Structure 1
Amino acid sequence: MSTSPTPRRTPARRRATAIGAFVAAAALLGVTVQATTASADQASSGTKADAGALPQQLSPSQRAELIRAADATTAATAERIGLGAKEKLVVRDVIKDRDGTTHTRYERTYAGLPVLGGDLVVATDKSGTVKDVNRASKARLAGTGTSADVKAASAEKQALGASKADGSTKLKTSQEPRKVVWLADAKGGAPKLAYETVVGGLQEDGTPNELHVVTDARTGKKLGEWQGVHQGTGNTQYSGQVPLTTQQSGSQYTLTDTARGNHQTRNLNRGTSGSGTLFSGPDDVWGNGQASNAETAGADAHYGAALTWDYYKNVHGRNGIRNDGRGASSRVHYGNNYVNAFWQDSCFCMTYGDGSGNAKPLTSIDVAAHEMTHGVTAATGNMQYSREPGGLNEATSDIFAAAVEFNAKNASDVGDYLVGEKIDIRGNGTPLRYMDKPSKDGRSLDNWSSSAGNVDVHYSSGIANHFFYLLSEGSGAKVINGVSYNSPTYDNKPVTGIGIDKAAKIWFRALTTKFTTTTNYAAARTGTLAATGELYGTSSPEYTAVANAWAAVNVGARP
């Protein structure tokens, strides 16, 4: 049976999709949204981005051809950038700028073993000359031994013990411990032969568990651990009556977005495993605005995924999460009273709980954008989900959640720099996180300190969130879209914002061409300054603003 994409806006005579009832009430009240962001104020001021430094929008076949070309020259590239005889490069992704500069992201192997923390990005001009190399580690691998003194079973036992200590249950190893070379030590140091073990099961709050534990193959000491399931929370379902792209087959419709890589939205029906059931129905109308209707959460998740796809494609030229044109999937109604949402790279999917009392599904615009961005990060900078890189990983999802929300211009869920402002997770009406002053939540960091790497990634993310807010909107008191902000600075000096659109372009370029698995806050400053220089020039107001915003959160100094 032939199928075709069906962009849908619910007819008034049919039952409301998503939360149409809320939109009707808002229209009756005459709700308006004022465009008072720095982006609007400065849309025509400042420096225009160098068009040549912006990414080309590649079709899947064009991207595949670039990857094939890079694959064919990995040996020559390894030699040109000074890798040893036992080291090989594995192409992970390729991005091409409009001026012909190509940014190829590589994983590295040594004597056939994966090198954790050995990833790098090589920038070449259109003639093939290497312009820049961004490495996760500068350590040399020559002379690293590959014979283990510790048995794999001991590494597995250690990993299971670490996961149990974290409160996880139903533990099982997802794969046999694999021998690797470890370069991702937070303090640097010499490379080490190690085992990587991945433990499955469930985390303490019911979230799936993918704990990666790295064990020294010589001494048995635990070298590091990080969680492979990236969590986040956000708003409720109140996105209003919205158009959805679906798929029709005969007399049935499904929540399959044929315009966006065949993204599917599926119902887990309170389950905690499997892919769930694809939403389907005879009338192409989804939900009634109430959480008790299973389709409502599906409509919101489907809509948020579409907005996020469109944002990355239209603003940054990225064709899907992995830039390959393939849509992920959304799973709603995870577990019972589950107050969270998460991304899993292993299933290429976003998953949403229904909140306390199963009354507030976590399926709003910024939640979808946050979780999908974890996928974009996994495909690009892939900052390891622990210590300072983990804070940057989590902040990246908050940053683009805000950018997508502003870009969507949805009257029922206007753009803001708050995280979880409608879910009321604390029961007192306050947001989960604040980007203008992260410490207002009682736990997040406003500024960098030497102990930032010891803080949970959801709270150390405050440093980058604060930087991004200052870069976008500037310091001091202001009202944006009806929300009051008052952002302080570490050095008590003012920061002038450049607008969220420019700030997001800078962060995206740094994420996709500069950041690596080991990027910390100091390296993030270096990467964003380099990205700004390429986009706007090193003598531009934007370059000064980036340096000032980092200094304002105690990362580096003002120029």
Structure 2
Amino acid sequence: MNLHTSLLLLSTLATAASASAQPLSPTMMGGPVAPPSAQESASLLARLATLDQAGATTRTLTAPQYSFRLAAHHPGAEGQKISRVQHTYQGLRVFGSEAVVVTDPAGAIVSASVTDRRPGAQSPAAGGAEGTAAAPAPADLKPKLSPQQAITVAIRSVREGMPKIEHRWQPVAELLLYPVVATARTAAAATKPEAELNALDVHEVVQRYALAYYVKTRMVKDQQPVYHDTIVDARTGEIIAQWQALQTATETGTGNSQYNGVVALSTSQNDKRFRMLDTTRGKGGRFGGMAITNADHSSMVNPDPGDVYAHTSNTWGDGQQYTGGSTSDANGQTAAVNAFWGLMNTYDTNRNVLGWQSLDGNNTATHIAVHIDREYDNAFYDDRCKCMFIGDGGTYFYNLGSIDVIGHEMSHGVTAATADLVYSGESGGLNESHSDIGGEMVEAYARAGGTGAAIPDKGNDWMVGQEISRDKKPLRYMIKPSLDGKSVDAWSTSLRQLDVHYSSGPNNRMFYFLAQGSNADPASDAHSKYLVKSPQAMTGIGSDKAYRIWFRALSTKFTSSTNYAVARARVLEAAQELYGAGSKEALAVQRAYAAINVGADIDEAR
């Protein structure tokens, strides 16, 4: 039994125990957790090493070549802690190979979700890539390129055809072991026509291991961020892989917002001036609390978030689209009102419903800078500063501070603090999908008044960015993603070739079905041809339960390389833990994924 099986067995036993007992109540995540002490870290690593050594007999190499690196920690439910643990081989991180380990207050491992891509791993069915490739020879673990040479290769690739491009952040390079992965069919699907393949008919196989640099470049061209992650072979200089990395939004004041009418704002007062600084939501950060700042057309190349908005009156904004004048008068304040209301509601949605505080779960404050550049048709989250930038809009959009766009961009920060899904291929689609889901749940919560401990089933429109669009066409439709002309409705083997904003479509649709149900009428946008069991119109479980299940899977089970097939398994585990193995919620998860060609459909009456 190797590590993957050992930890998976432990997780299975924990799930079985919870299924045999009463289903868990939808408990909230705990409060902020302190970083582990050196003793706590050493104890966890020792427990993992013991499990690893128990499986060493099935590996081609000895246990000392395998180790672990603690990457991140965040709170879990019921006093538990969640640790993100990277796998290493010969001291090098193995890209996409990691474990999410849940421990109890005593430090004992409760469950783990593992993607094991190290040489010798043999567990594709449980989430890892089958390690059939030979382990690298010692000579192949010595780089011929320096980090700076690898950075030069990556920059040259990104700058090709874009001479006027400048650095926003200085590039960085990490030496690691990169598994080159290919998709293979299962034996049962060997003769299936390509068009009939289901996501569970294929799995990933490691073809080879490359010593490589993981290079992150963050540049700007013509007011647009050009963010890329590049994998450069450390021995040949070849670019093995590359993908776009941009994740693209206690006084009580009165704000005249552009999209939501008159709204209440949690401002603070200092020296007879009111500030858009909320010290009741989040601690620390750059400004000491949740803040909205005036970038005042600061360039995308060297962005300055500016100062926190301040005003002699506690009434802000005129509710109108910015016209290009002062960024601090009533018209200029409207963008800040949009952002502040969105940030407050994003924080409250996750805290009040899930118990998740701020972006990282540890209640660290963030900020949003408005009026970035001029006529800027974008909004984005930047994990370097763990903050958001909002443009005023230009050719295609009005101000990009709508509630769902802000919820979307802030949800990228939650993903970065938890699963950190690689922004490419199927994992990148799931990354974008979580942000679309988060945006819609924040919208529903905010529209219902922004209070209470549950997500309402009504209030959001299940469309991303309709309010900001000048032509009133949304960026994405969750009920039927293909309505935008670029996204797809179901999984296929070509999904990983799509831009992540379009490969998110199937999972968005899955979540819509899980929450709202489907329709048996083939003419309906909510119809799925893959639902063939009884009844053809699957029953939804409501947005609140759907969001709790999804978030539990994201925060306690997803790893950075999770794909659609693995996501189905992990979301099902989350539903079983929360509501029971035979529950209607667990059944609905299976049907919702079947509706997008991930797994087989089942009858509802069981």
Q: Among the aligned pairs, what percent are the same residue?
A: 35
Aligned to 1:529: 572
* 1:335-378 CA-partner distances (Å, limit 9, x unpaired): 22222210000011111111125982111111111011000000
- The structure 2 residue matched to 1:422, chosen from 461, 467, 472, is 467
Alpha-carbon distance in structure 2 between the residues aligned to 1:473 and 1:440: 18
- The structure 1 residue matched to 2:529, chosen from 484, 487, 490, is 490
Residues 543 and 168 of structure 1: CA distance in aligned 2, closer, same or farther (over 3 Å): farther
Residues 132 and 223 of structure 1: CA distance in aligned 2, closer, same or farther (over 3 Å): farther
Scaled by the length of structure 2, the TM-score of the pair is 0.76
**Structure 1, 75-84 or 525-534: larger mean CA deviation:** 75-84
Aligned to 2:546: 503
Q: Give the Å deviation of 1:147.
A: 0.6
Scaled by the length of structure 1, the TM-score of the pair is 0.82
Q: Give the Å deviation of 1:155.
A: 2.2
Find the residue that maps to 1:486 and give its secondary structure: coil
- The structure 1 residue matched to 2:246, chosen from 211, 224, 229, is 229
Please list every run of 5 or more consecutive structure 2 residues that lacks an aligned counterpart in the other structure: 1-20, 54-62, 121-134, 183-203, 250-256, 283-288, 323-330, 451-457
**Structure 1, 491-500 or 141-150: larger mean CA deviation:** 141-150
Contact 1:71 1:91 in 2 (8 A): no
Q: Does 1:88 find its partner at 2:68?
A: yes
Aligned to 2:352: 314
- Counterparts of residues 127-526 of structure 1 (less than 5 Å): 128-140=107-119, 145=138, 146-165=141-160, 169-172=164-167, 174-183=170-179, 185=181, 187-189=204-206, 190-203=208-221, 206-231=223-248, 237-261=258-282, 262-271=289-298, 272=300, 273-292=303-322, 293-356=331-394, 360-409=398-447, 414-425=459-470, 427=471, 429-476=472-519, 486-492=525-531, 493-526=536-569
Contact 1:137 1:183 in 2 (8 A): no
Residues 341 and 148 of structure 1: CA distance in aligned 2, closer, same or farther (over 3 Å): same
Please list every run of 5 or more consecutive structure 1 residues that lacks an aligned counterpart in the other structure: 1-47, 479-483
Contact 1:67 1:91 in 2 (8 A): no
Alpha-carbon distance in structure 2 between the residues aligned to 1:443 and 1:458: 9
Find the residue that maps to 1:104 and give its secondary structure: strand
Q: Which has the higher contact order (CA 8 A, sep 6+)?
A: 1
**Structure 1, 370-379 or 218-227: larger mean CA deviation:** 218-227
Alpha-carbon distance in structure 2 between the residues aligned to 1:421 and 1:457: 19
Contact 2:26 2:548 in 1 (8 A): no
Q: Give the Å deviation of 1:192.
A: 2.5
Report the count of equivalent residues. 497
Residues 101 and 330 of structure 1: CA distance in aligned 2, closer, same or farther (over 3 Å): closer
Counterpart amino acid of residue 486 in structure 1: D
Alpha-carbon distance in structure 2 between the residues aligned to 1:411 and 1:123: 34
**Structure 1, 117-126 or 275-284: larger mean CA deviation:** 117-126
Q: Give the Å deviation of 1:110.
A: 4.2
Alpha-carbon distance in structure 2 between the residues aligned to 1:359 and 1:140: 48
Aligned to 1:21: none
Residues 239 and 169 of structure 1: CA distance in aligned 2, closer, same or farther (over 3 Å): farther
Contact 1:391 1:460 in 2 (8 A): yes
Residues 77 and 138 of structure 1: CA distance in aligned 2, closer, same or farther (over 3 Å): farther
Find the residue that maps to 2:263 and give its secondary structure: coil
